[in-house]
Structure formats: structure tokens, C-alpha cells
């Protein structure tokens, strides 16, 4: 396995960064998770645009142009002979001295990992997922804007730990006001009648790339997605529920906090979106 680090591809065993990298010391950096389908990188331009905006928000200079980063991503897939897989694109503040000041960080660092991934067992996609709500709250947008996809994921890690301790594979995180924000690694959608609803980003939800694809699919299917505040009651009483994410794709949810959603199996609207998404991944990619 070959990993790209600052201009060269190295073997997995030799892929190392400095202990003085501020990405390690302080979580000072950004990342994107990207999927490769049938030799095409799905929505690469959208991921790179979000990376650029995250970098701008953090006053972080990208070490390469977006076109150059795109080429590195594609070459990483070729180096590892991947046809389908997952790409982790990371930009850190780079090596600096101890202390929060970024002035000692002369150059940012770029890492690209291209590998395979399986987030959930195949049967979960057929039968649906059972999730819970955890106590850990989503960081308030006023404290850290959720549009910044930073390396600071401790909040989500804690929530994931709580879910796993309760035997759940995923969990809902609420914001400080008690509204649904998102799950630990996925965006959440519910279906009420013919209405498809997802939390507004102002609730603390990431503007996920897959989330946006689902919203575009909703327009195409004449089932537009509404963004608004959701409570746990809204989720519990929904006819259907599903999660979206780059790694998870589109996954049905059939039980939340021990409450059966709808008929306890993937709903017809969820399956319609899932089918449309699978069609889209074969049509919207950058060929490696």
C-alpha cells in the first residue's frame, strides 16, 4: 500500500509525520473523506471546494493547487490499483514548535490515503440500522462552525464511544437546544408522509457531500428536501429514517432509542433514494 506524504509515495510502514506537526499536537488541520466507484472519484470537485473553504476559514494555506491535489488523489488510487475504495485527504498546519501559535508552522502538510473501506455489514443495508441518542452534544455552531471539516473530531469520537458501549453502531447527537444535529459520522433524514426533512446546518449539522447529493435527487424525484429543526419526537414518529455519508452512503434506520420507525424495515421512499443514489455514483465521477 502506497501513501502520499508531501510530494512522495511511501510504503504504509514508512508513512510517518513529525511529532511536532500541529495536526497531531492540536488537531489543527482539515480533511475530506472521498469515495472511488468503478474507477471514478465521486464528486471530487465538490470535496476539493469544501476543503478549500475549510482551509480559508482556518487561515490555512493549501500546499498545492486544487488541480494538483486532484491529480494526487487520482494517482493515489492508481498507485494502489483501486477500482472501488475510500480516500482520506488530510491537510495539517505542518511542523511547528510547541504552543498554540501557528507562526512557527512554515508549510502545511498534505497526506492522501487510498484504501478499501466497509463501514457497516452488508445486511444492515438490507434490514436497516438501529441507533440511539447519546448524551454528548454537538459543538455549537457559534463555537465551531460545522461547515469546517476539521481534524477536531473528539466530540464525535466521544459520542461514538457512548453508542458502542450501548451496543449501537451509530448515534444521534443533539445540539445545546435539544434539537437533532446529526449522527456521529452521518447526516440524518426523516420521511413524514411525502415530506423529506433533514436538520438545518444551523442546528450543528455538517453540509455533507452525500447529503447535498440526496437533496438534489429529491428535486429530481419531485420530492424536495426541507431543512428545519427536528426534535427526537419527530424522529421517533417518522414514517421512515435514513442516514447519509461518504463512507456510509445511504443507510436505512429502522429503530431509534428502542422505538420502531415505520414498519420496522427500510421504507419505499428510502429505497427510492438509495436506488437513485447508486445510479448517480456511476454518472458523477472524475476518472482516475
What class is the 122-285 domain?
alpha beta
Q: Rounded distance, CA 271 to CA 242, Å?
A: 10
Q: What is the pLDDT along the chain (288 residues), one digit of tens a residue?
A: 999 999 999 999 999 999 999 999 999 999 999 999 999 999 999 999 999 999 999 999 999 999 999 999 999 999 999 999 999 999 999 999 999 999 999 999 999 999 998 878 889 999 999 999 999 999 998 899 999 999 999 999 999 999 999 999 999 999 999 999 999 999 999 999 989 999 998 999 989 999 999 999 999 999 999 999 999 999 999 999 999 999 889 999 999 999 999 999 999 999 999 999 998 987 777 888
Alpha helices (runs of H) in the chain, residue ranges in sequence order: 22-26, 44-57, 66-79, 122-127, 154-165, 209-220, 232-236, 268-281
Q: Where in the chain are all domains bearing CATH 3.30.470.10?
A: 2-115
pLDDT score recorded for residue 286 = 85
- In this structure, the chain runs to a length of 288
pTM: 0.93
* Residue 149 annotated in active site: yes
Nearest alpha carbon to residue 186 among 128, 247, 125, 259: 247
Report CA-CA distances (Å) from 261 to 29, 47, 131.
38, 32, 11
Active-site pick, 16, 149, 265, 287? 149
Q: For residue 12, what is the DSSP state?
A: G
Q: Where in the chain are all domains bearing CATH 3.20.10.10?
A: 122-285
Which CATH architecture is the domain 2-115 placed in?
Answer: 2-Layer Sandwich (3.30)
Nearest alpha carbon to residue 245 among 163, 183, 173: 183
Amino acid at each position: 500500500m502506497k501513501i502520499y506524504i508531501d510530494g512522495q509515495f511511501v510504503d504504509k510502514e514508512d508513512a510517518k509525520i513529525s511529532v511536532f506537526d500541529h495536526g497531531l499536537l492540536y488537531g489543527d488541520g482539515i480533511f475530506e473523506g472521498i469515495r472511488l466507484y468503478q474507477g471514478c472519484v465521486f464528486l471530487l470537485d465538490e470535496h476539493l471546494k469544501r476543503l478549500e473553504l475549510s482551509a480559508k476559514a482556518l487561515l490555512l494555506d493549501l500546499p498545492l493547487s486544487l488541480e494538483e491535489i486532484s491529480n494526487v488523489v487520482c494517482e493515489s488510487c492508481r498507485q494502489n490499483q483501486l477500482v472501488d475504495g475510500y480516500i482520506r485527504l488530510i491537510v495539517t498546519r505542518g511542523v511547528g514548535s510547541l504552543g498554540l501559535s501557528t507562526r512557527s508552522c512554515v508549510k502545511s502538510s498534505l497526506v492522501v490515503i487510498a484504501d478499501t473501506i466497509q463501514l457497516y455489514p452488508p445486511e444492515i443495508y438490507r434490514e436497516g440500522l438501529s441507533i440511539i441518542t447519546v448524551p454528548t452534544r454537538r459543538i455549537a455552531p457559534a463555537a465551531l462552525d460545522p461547515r469546517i471539516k476539521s481534524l477536531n473530531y473528539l466530540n464525535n469520537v466521544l459520542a461514538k464511544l457512548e453508542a458502542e458501549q450501548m451496543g449501537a453502531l451509530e448515534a444521534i447527537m443533539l445540539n445545546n437546544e435539544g434539537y437533532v444535529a446529526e449522527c456521529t459520522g452521518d447526516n440524518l433524514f426523516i420521511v413524514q408522509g411525502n415530506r423529506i426533512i433533514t436538520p438545518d446546518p444551523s442546528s450543528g449539522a455538517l453540509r455533507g457531500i452525500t447529503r447535498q447529493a440526496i437533496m438534489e435527487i429529491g428535486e429530481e424525484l419531485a420530492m424536495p428536501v426541507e431543512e428545519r429543526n427536528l426534535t427526537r419526537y419527530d424522529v421517533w414518529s417518522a414514517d421512515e429514517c435514513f442516514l447519509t455519508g461518504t463512507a456510509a452512503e445511504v443507510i436505512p434506520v429502522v429503530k431509534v432509542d428502542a422505538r420502531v420507525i415505520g414498519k420496522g424495515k427500510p421504507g419505499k421512499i428510502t429505497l427510492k433514494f438509495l436506488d437513485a443514489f447508486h445510479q448517480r455514483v456511476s454518472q458523477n465521477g472524475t476518472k482516475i
